[in-house]
């Protein structure tokens, strides 16, 4: 009888970029069961049940999307299928931002996080109703729609999948209730020891009766409520109330918040991403910590049997036509001049730290989860566009090939992966 192979799988000859481990170069990776068993310059002498040749390919720790919307069915069109956004797009971990709430966490655990092949976590919604239909009805999201005690209890009971608290600071809500909800969100965050994640940029129409709100005043009021480790999202939004002020400058208070007070920034790409805003924010010296894609049923094309729903999509304030996903967002940051190693850190080491899971995911070191993404870094001339009408020509395009999630292989065959567009 032949001896059992030393390892289940060896991924050989790839270019490993693992910022947390300080590795950037040619390495072989061995997997046993659902764990990384070895990372060595050369494992060609080792025996393996399966040997995958990754020559010419980029091998990185399993990608973590810090801003997903995958509470499928419960949040209407908004929630996407987790595995189409996740493992079948080369992404091993998803963080649903504010889909599930204290009232709907049970459904999220049993019908989404549990059955998915992707690792699915969440930031619990600050609001009782969660992210139903993508927060379409503003009247549900005032202070009267928040119960801190209930939310704290559910966050604590589900601490294995709840890794933070989600709320929105934007001028539609501000015109109705000021920032009261954010203050309650901070209480929930403090009581649970979980970071507060704040959506910036207009989401709701402003109230008819209110004076025209000042987006810059909102930032001045918001930042002092937030604490080190809390997250500001959507820095590159073209909607008012983001990092770029009405006069086109970066708010000095945001520069101070990020550089001196330890607030973190998540890209949260979505349909409101703007190359112009991104350039201004990066030029001002703010490098986002993490790179959430923020895909949902209103900003990506989903082919659903029986229903087109394009009118409904087009009426949504977050409707967009520029195709994107996490790897397109990575390609855009490369185009904007962010070095590859930093872009990789934004989808691996940094989100793992944000989730307080850096001993388990975000790096490829023996004993850690065998969550691995294998990508192609294609060279050529590729067209990338945003929804403000800007088109750029990039010379590199990141394309997912496959991933291992807990040692199980998934090919990147999701229909949500945009086609490469030649420039
Ligand atoms: Zn979102």
| Buried b / exposed e along 56-86 (16+ C-beta atoms within 10 A) | ebbbbbbbbbbbbbbbbebbbbbbbbbbbbb
Q: What are the residues whose beta carbons fall under 8 Å from the beta carbon of 47, sequence distance 6 or more?
A: 3, 5, 6, 7
Coil/strand/helix, residue 275: helix
- What is the chain's percent helix, strand, coil content, to nearest 5? 30, 30, 45
Say yes or no: 42 and 133 in one domain: no
State the total domains in the chain: 2
Say yes or no: 331 and 367 in one domain: no
Q: What is the mean pLDDT of each run of 10 residues along the chain (423 residues)?
A: 89 98 98 98 97 98 98 94 98 98 98 98 97 92 96 98 96 91 97 97 84 82 96 92 86 93 96 94 97 94 57 64 92 98 98 98 98 98 94 97 98 95 90
7 CA to centre of ligand 1 in angstroms: 40
Say yes or no: 46 and 31 in one domain: yes
Tell me, yes or no, whether 389 lies in a domain: no
Neighbours of ion ligand 1 (CB under 5 A): 294
| CA end-to-end span of the chain | 56
What local confidence, expressed as pLDDT, does residue 314 receive?
66
What local confidence, expressed as pLDDT, does residue 310 receive?
57
26 CA to centre of ligand 1 in angstroms: 36
What local confidence, expressed as pLDDT, does residue 334 receive?
98
Q: Which domain holds residue 288?
A: 62-354
Say yes or no: 202 and 244 in one domain: yes
Tell me, yes or no, whether 419 lies in a domain: no
pTM of the predicted protein model: 0.95
145 CA to centre of ligand 1 in angstroms: 19
- Which CATH number goes with the domain that contains 302? 3.20.20.140
293 CA to centre of ligand 1 in angstroms: 8
């Amino acid at each position: 009888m032949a001896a059992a192979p030393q390892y289940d799988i060896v991924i050989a000859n790839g270019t490993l970029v693992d910022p947390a481990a300080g590795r950037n170069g040619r390495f072989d990776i061995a997997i046993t069961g659902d764990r990384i068993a070895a990372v060595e310059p050369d494992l060609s002498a080792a025996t393996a049940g399966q040997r995958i040749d990754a020559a010419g390919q980029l091998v990185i720790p399993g990608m973590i999307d810090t801003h997903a919307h995958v509470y499928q069915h419960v949040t209407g069109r908004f929630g996407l299928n987790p595995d189409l956004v996740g493992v079948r797009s080369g992404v091993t971990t998803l963080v649903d931002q504010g889909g599930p709430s204290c009232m709907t966490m049970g459904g999220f655990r049993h019908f989404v996080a549990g059955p998915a092949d992707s690792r699915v976590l969440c930031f619990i919604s600050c609001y009782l109703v969660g992210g139903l239909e993508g927060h379409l009805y503003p009247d549900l999201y005032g202070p009267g729609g928040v119960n801190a005690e209930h939310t704290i209890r559910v966050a604590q009971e589900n601490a294995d999948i709840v890794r933070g608290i989600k709320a929105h600071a934007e001028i539609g809500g501000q015109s109705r209730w000021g920032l009261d909800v954010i203050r309650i969100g901070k209480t929930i965050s403090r009581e649970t020891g979980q970071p507060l994640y704040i959506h910036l940029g207009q989401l709701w129409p402003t109230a008819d009766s209110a004076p025209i709100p000042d987006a810059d005043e909102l930032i001045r009021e918001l930042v002092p409520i937030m604490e080190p480790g809390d997250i500001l999202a959507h820095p590159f939004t073209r909607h008012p109330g983001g990092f770029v002020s009405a006069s086109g400058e970066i708010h000095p208070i945001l520069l101070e918040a990020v550089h001196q007070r330890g607030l973190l920034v998540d890209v949260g790409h979505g349909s409101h991403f703007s190359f112009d805003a991104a350039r201004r924010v990066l030029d001002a010296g703010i490098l986002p910590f993490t790179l959430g894609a923020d895909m949902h049923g209103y900003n990506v094309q989903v082919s659903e049997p029986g229903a087109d729903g394009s009118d409904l999509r087009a009426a949504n304030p977050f409707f967009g036509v520029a195709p994107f996903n996490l790897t397109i967002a990575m390609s855009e940051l490369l185009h904007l001049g962010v070095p590859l190693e930093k872009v990789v850190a934004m989808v691996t080491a940094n989100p793992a730290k944000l989730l307080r899971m850096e001993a388990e995911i975000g790096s490829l070191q023996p004993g850690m989860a065998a969550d691995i993404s294998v990508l192609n870094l294609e060279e050529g001339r590729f067209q990338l566009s945003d929804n403000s009408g800007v088109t750029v020509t990039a010379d590199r395009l990141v394309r997912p090939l496959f991933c291992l999630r807990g040692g199980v292989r998934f090919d990147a065959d999701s229909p949500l992966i945009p086609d490469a567009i030649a420039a």
